Amino acid sequence: MLLSSLIFIPLLGMVVVMFMPKNSNKAVKWTATLISSIPMLVSFWIVWDYFFSHSGSAAMAYVEGPFDWIPILNIHYYLGVDGISVPMLFLTGLLSTISLIASFGINKRVKEYFAFFLLLESGMMGVFVSLDFFLFYVFWEVMLVPMYFLIGIWGGPRKEYAAIKFFLYTLFGSLFMLVSILILYFTSEPHTLNMLTLIEISPNLSHTLQMVCFVFFFVAFAIKVPVWPFHTWLPDAHVEAPTAVSVILAGVLLKMGTYAMMRISWPMFPWALRELSFWIAILGAIGIIYGALLSIAQKDLKKLVAYSSVSHMGYCMLALAAFSSVTAITGVMFQMVSHGLITGALFLLVGVLYDRAHTREIAAFGGLGVKVPVYTGLMVLFGMAALGLPGMSGFVSEFMIFIGAFSVLNKVLVGISVLGVVLGATYILRMVQNVFLGNFDKERWGDLTDINVREIITVAPLALLTLFIGIYPKPLETLMSATLQNLVDLLAR
């Protein structure tokens, strides 16, 4: 019931919100936030309990099912979590609630907004807990719809374009996944969509089929990650989306790609993975450098953060290519969590500025450090976290990724990827310099106000977690070590 509650409480919340009276904006906001805090607390409890009771073994915990759902197709309602999904649940629960708090400023079509948001949360939770392919796919797709509306209705000037682009792009990817799922379904005997079973049997497939399925899965997930060159939906979607949605996009949705790789395509097709790992690593390296370079060239604050995501997820891909190293795979998980925290916070902060200044043009600002010191401090803090400063989670993950990748991948390639660290510093510092340092334009920004308490409440947990993981990463590592060890063993098949 624990995992189902994660899915169905937000869904219930959506219904509740939808049937609330029309002009009760404030009540809607509070209701939605309170309802979404339930799955958040549940996810905290799961983290806590998993850490103490289940983290020793790689087996699925809190398993629900398999209950018959569509017996004629052997489709089941089957939920469970392990060390890969627990951190993601945590991230989802936390960021959803934070995003809802950050959305209190929404004054346009409030009911719909919060309803869609809760639906989105439900879908995200579903993706991370389902163990049946069909269920997984359904949740994977279900998310797209609220996301489409959230970007399209509440987004920026080019929202329609961004929304449809996001929708089409990701749908395009997921259809590839559908084909692979079907192939797997029909090659298994008896036909099954149970992921765990398929992980066991699918390495027995013919090499051609393995390769086809792997590539298809890869395309599907790579679009979500996004891996270069499938990334172009990302800047548009991130930039046009309202702040809270950008947070969810960066914090959770991108992780689904890597999560799905670790959950599905990697363990299912170790042979194909071995064949292709070099190319995946190259894509990862390109993503790192390319995203960072693009971030350097950006003039829009949000776009800069968006492209930095491409770079950061490139690290994940690089490490995922280094599949035989537990260190690298652990690094991926760390990077997923920390990128969710850091980039989420950066988007929140950019949104804070945008709310006040109504522009995100980097060149429009300068010297804001004088006027809004607390905001500047937070921004610099997360900026430093983003560029991988030790003491914060980003460093731990990048370090593990590089160590792991270095030990198994082509060393020159990894060496080149490390350049991303410098480029990362460049774009962050350029941004900090141009926005917060230098001359302050009193005429224009004289009445800018500093970040308020509500906004601080939204970023503070992220800051604390970033620092906590950066300083004391051991708990998180312990949480998932058994699972990841098992994963690496599976990949060695």
Residues between 253 and 312 with contacts to other proteins, criterion CB under 8 A: 290, 293-294, 296-298
Looking at beta carbons only, is 40 or 408 nearer to other proteins? 408
Q: For residues 36-52, b (16+ Cβ closer than 10 Å) or e, as one string?
A: bbbbbebbeebbeebbe
Contact in structure between 382 and 464 (CB atoms under 8 Å): no
CB closer to other proteins out of 40 and 118: 118
Amino acid code (one letter) for 184 = L
Amino acid at site 189: E
Contact 188, 232 (CB under 8 A): no
State yes or no: residue 402 binds other proteins (CB under 8 A): yes
Interface with other proteins (CB under 8 A), residue total 92
Considering only residues 421 to 460 of the shown chain, the ones binding other proteins according to CB under 8 A are 421-423, 425-426, 429-430, 432-433, 436-440
For other proteins, the binding residue among 12, 178, 276, 456 (CB under 8 A) is: 178
Give the span between the Cα atoms of 338 and 276, in whole angstroms: 27
Q: How far is the CB of 23 from other proteins (least distance, A)?
A: 14
State the DSSP H helix or E strand holding residue 77, giving kind and residue range, or none if neither: strand 75-81
Chain residues 307-336 in contact with other proteins, contact rule CB under 8 A: 325-327, 330
Q: Which of 8, 30, 44, 185 binds other proteins (CB under 8 A)?
A: 185
* Residues from 465 through 484 that contact other proteins (CB under 8 A): 473-474, 477-478, 481
Binding test (CB under 8 A) with other proteins, winner from 29, 54, 159, 312: 159
DSSP states of 175-199: HHHHHHHHHHHHHSSS---BHHHHH
Q: What is the token pair recorded at 272? A: 């194909």
Is residue 384 a contact residue for other proteins (CB under 8 A)? yes
Q: Nearest Cα to 86, choosing from 123, 42, 28?
A: 42
Question: What is the DSSP annotation of 313-344?
Answer: HHHHHHHHH-TT-HHHHHHHHHHHHHHHHHHH
Minimum distance between the CB of residue 160 and other proteins, rounded to whole angstroms?
5
* Contact set for other proteins, span 113-152 (CB under 8 A): 134, 137-138, 141-142, 144-145, 148-149, 152
Q: To the nearest whole angstrom, how small is the minimum distance from the Cβ of residue 97 to other proteins?
A: 24
Cβ atoms < 10 Å from Cβ of 356: 17
Q: How far is the CB of 417 from other proteins (least distance, A)?
A: 10
Which of 403, 391, 405, 297 minimizes the C-alpha distance to 342? 391
Which residue in 396, 462, 463, 465 binds other proteins (CB under 8 A)?
396
Which is nearer to other proteins, 40 or 119 (by Cβ)? 119
Q: Which stretch binds other proteins (CB under 8 A): 46-54, 85-93, 230-238, 269-277?
A: 230-238
Interacting residues with other proteins between 4 and 33 (CB under 8 A): none
Cβ proximity to other proteins, 95 vs 264, nearer residue: 264
**Which of 116, 127, 305 shows the shortest CA–CA distance to 221?**
127
Q: Is the peptide bond before 226 cis (omega within 30 degrees of 0)?
A: yes
Quick one: which of 114, 176, 217, 266 contacts other proteins (CB under 8 A)?
A: 176
DSSP one-letter code for 250: I
Distance from CA of residue 141 to its chain's centroid?
A: 16
- How many Å apart are CA 339 and CA 396, to the nearest integer? 11
Cβ atoms 177, 218 nearer than 8 A: no
Answer for which of 2, 20, 38, 153 binds other proteins (CB under 8 A) is 153
HSE-up of residue 422 (Cα within 13 Å, Cβ side): 5
Instruction: Specify the residue, 147 or 341, whose C-beta has the smaller distance to other proteins.
Output: 147
Of residues 73 through 92, those in contact with other proteins by CB under 8 A are: 73
Tokens at 260, concatenated? 């799905």
Q: Does residue number 70 form part of the binding site for other proteins (CB under 8 A)?
A: yes
Nearer to other proteins, 37 or 121 (CB): 121
Does residue number 38 form part of the binding site for other proteins (CB under 8 A)? no
Using CB under 8 A as the binding rule, whether residue 194 contacts other proteins is answered as: no
Q: Does 363 bind other proteins (CB under 8 A)?
A: no
